[in-house]
Amino acid sequence: MAMPSPDAQRSSVRDAGGMPELGNQFPALAHVRVRDCMHHEVLSCSAEDSVQDIAVIMANHRVHAVMITSGNGERPIGVVSDLDVVAAVAAGARCTAHEVAATETLTVSGDEPVQAAARLMNEHGVSHLVVVDAAGGYPVGVLSSLDIAAAYANS
């Protein structure tokens, strides 16, 4: 008797990111909020900063993303990821943060469940979310895919 392939055993229902629709399979993560695992330090740059300047920030702080803020430095208007920097280097381009930022700015409240944040990242194909305070929408931190992996590993 032939055994069904692993693909045939999986659910055929998939979410927007192509992952199986499993519902809440991780009850240990149900209580974890974004504020519980985000980085509280927000590293930012202006839209006019050079990619090299951003690379220095990333290297000095060992981070994979830097938020671009508006002229007054308060509101997020973009995110430059390490992959954006790599793409600029590969192309030999000398450009600004605004020109190289391919990662869209997505925000999440610190009060949101980490699973909701993971779904948002998956749906939009990003690895970082800007965490904003619920009252004023000002950045208070950054949540990365590695932060979610750590929460999952520790659950």
Q: Does 134 have pLDDT greater than 90?
A: no
Q: Could you tell me which residues are beta bridge partners of residue 107?
A: 130
Classify residue 12: in a domain, yes or no. Answer: no
Q: Check which CATH number belongs to the domain holding 86 and give it.
A: 3.10.580.10
For the chain, the domain total comes to 1
Which structure tokens are listed for 13? 């229902």
Classify residue 35: in a domain, yes or no. Answer: yes
Taking only the tens place, the pLDDT of each residue in 55-84 is 999 999 999 999 998 877 678 888 999 999
Classify residue 9: in a domain, yes or no. Answer: no
8 Å CB contact between 142 and 129: yes
Which pLDDT value is given to residue 14?
A: 45
Taking only the tens place, the pLDDT of each residue in 106-125 is 999 999 999 999 999 999 98
Structural domain span for residue 114:
29-153
Give the start-end residues of each E strand in 20-151: 44-46, 65-69, 76-81, 107-109, 128-132, 139-144
What is the average pLDDT across 5-30?
Answer: 51
Classify residue 58: in a domain, yes or no. Answer: yes
Which pLDDT value is given to residue 137?
A: 80
Classify residue 15: in a domain, yes or no. Answer: no
Which pLDDT value is given to residue 16?
A: 52
pTM of the model: 0.77
8 Å CB contact between 95 and 86: no
Helix (H, G, I), strand (E, B) or coil at 14: strand
